[in-house]
Structure 1
């Protein structure tokens, strides 16, 4: 039975995990597919390679691998979970949800399962959803997964977009704990502006542009965006919400030990770091090896930064993100 809400909830991160498919697509490989060069891609995005799902490999398959690692790091079994929150805009199916598919693959049943769709901000939106469940039911044990088979929504004939994206999954286990336990989620702030939604879209397949039996698949079924406009709004909103979150907790930019922005491209990461006055050596980036993995980028980066020892006990970590919708957010973690 779930207990009544409590005012003494502390959001403790019990374990992280990440996964990327074995297949690696380099910039040199892309030169054979579309009119581009390694120099053009690297100079504009900082991306050198990205991971691509194998034939038949799905978002839930990747999520399963990341989830198993997070559960192992947490010292928990899947049967301990009470909720699965799955962030993605590339689920295996429209129905059933990716969370329900993952639940079955974990060999469990009965948990609350739901998907969250906020594009590249999906992990933070899912984490805030998990915090809401924990506030209501403090004994909950919640698996938060972000997984994107993003290359399934990439137009490989569009050199402006196909060079940017990769596939990956990240996961975290969130529970209640003691006030002094770490790592913990200090706070999350989120925002959105639907009036800007047309600047970054995957329109095909929704009720506004429905599927018709036998029709050809057009460009609207893949990622389309106006790069310069997205860049401008991404830097502005990621910076502003990060400053607001720090101010809310009486902190300054100098209090940030590690900055892990959404891994969209290196120009955005660098611009946000400079706006927040965080020295480059304290800004973590793995976009060169993964590309933009949408909702998965933040948990993959967090998990990898922990594995590499970039994040150490006592560190305060700031995680800003931005995605289609437009959506954005910032998360403050204490390790």
Structure 2
């Protein structure tokens, strides 16, 4: 029997600079009520000058390794839209900072679905016996790519990192990960994008506009697509697993907008109190949002050993995906933010 991936550690990190809605209202035409009503977000955290995405990733990884009570892994998979540099990948840098030089390390670029893509890739490394243990990280610093003067986007995103440790195990044990459902539709790439900086723009011969260097999103269309694609992915995943939605104990969705999470639960017929998340406190942390929410739920005692946990996400690409996870019996560690 081939081994399966088993989650054995989780950790997260939020940079020390908290930015409230009131703080943003000092420089943007907005209010705390406007932001909270439309997004469900009251606060977020921004990385400080001199900090890189790899630094956030390392801090989250250290906590996950401590939770798993292991010193090393055989591979590092990092999901990020905001790498330290366009080249090389950031995962090898993270591995080196963790003292893991020599292990396999690579980035996954699937925007806000990135963590689920990375989790699936890591599970594949374990299933093929390429690795015995894999560190999977989602880390993003969207404060570096969002136009600070754009009210629609600037109020949504925050920086942060989350990580899990996977080990080789058996399908029936607590912590087992899978199956997965992943999908994409590149015809809608313009709904969530940064137009400048890539080969398409550089080889076009046209000078980019200033706004082309920033992240942009078509909010209403993204909202609609997110519900449709995540709901379809979840239904397909549950059919494959032979489960009904009522057998799901907890759902951890990508924390893009609280209204999306509430609507998704309603469409799926899942009681809203089974949703786990902390978007109000941390905002949309992109590829880091699911592992951050998992760690927060673990530390608040909202996840019990044996719980059937549904993970689902939607992001630029377009990309989407879902996965099932049987919650393990994890060692508790104190939350450290800075």
Give the TM-score normalised by the residue count of structure 1: 0.94
| SS class of match (1:15) | strand
* Cα displacement (A) at 1:116: 0.3
Quote the residue 1:203 is aligned against: 195
Quote the residue 1:4 is aligned against: none
What do the CA deviations read for 1:98-129 (whole angstroms, capped 9, x no partner)?
A: 10110111122111111000000000000111
Q: C-alpha separation between the residues in 2 aligned to 1:217 and 1:305?
A: 42
Residue 272 (1) aligns with residue 270 (2): no
- What is the count of residue pairs matched by the alignment? 325
| SS class of match (2:182) | strand
Q: C-alpha separation between the residues in 1 aligned to 2:131 and 2:192?
A: 39
Quote the residue 2:48 is aligned against: 54
Alignment partner of 2:133 out of 141, 156, 167: 141
Quote the residue 2:64 is aligned against: 70
Q: C-alpha separation between the residues in 1 aligned to 2:226 and 2:171?
A: 33
Residue 194 (1) aligns with residue 190 (2): no
Q: Any unmatched runs of 5+ in structure 2? A: 328-338
Runs of 4+ residues deviating >2 angstroms: 178-181
Quote the residue 2:284 is aligned against: 292
Quote the residue 2:229 is aligned against: 237
Quote the residue 2:240 is aligned against: 248
What do the CA deviations read for 1:34-70 (whole angstroms, capped 9, x no partner)?
A: 1111111111101001010011111110000100011
Alignment partner of 1:128 out of 102, 120, 128: 120
- CA distance 1:139–1:161, shift in 2 (3 Å): closer
What do the CA deviations read for 1:223-264 (whole angstroms, capped 9, x no partner)?
A: 111111000000011011101111111111101101111100
* Cα displacement (A) at 1:93: 0.7
Give the TM-score normalised by the residue count of structure 2: 0.93
| SS class of match (2:253) | coil
What do the CA deviations read for 1:137-167 (whole angstroms, capped 9, x no partner)?
A: 1652111111001110010111011101000
Quote the residue 1:3 is aligned against: none
Q: C-alpha separation between the residues in 1 aligned to 2:215 and 2:282?
A: 17
What do the CA deviations read for 1:60-110 (whole angstroms, capped 9, x no partner)?
A: 100001000111111111xx3111111001011112211011011112211
Q: Any unmatched runs of 5+ in structure 1? A: 1-6
Contact 2:181 2:321 survives alignment (8 Å): yes
RMSD (CA atoms): 1.6
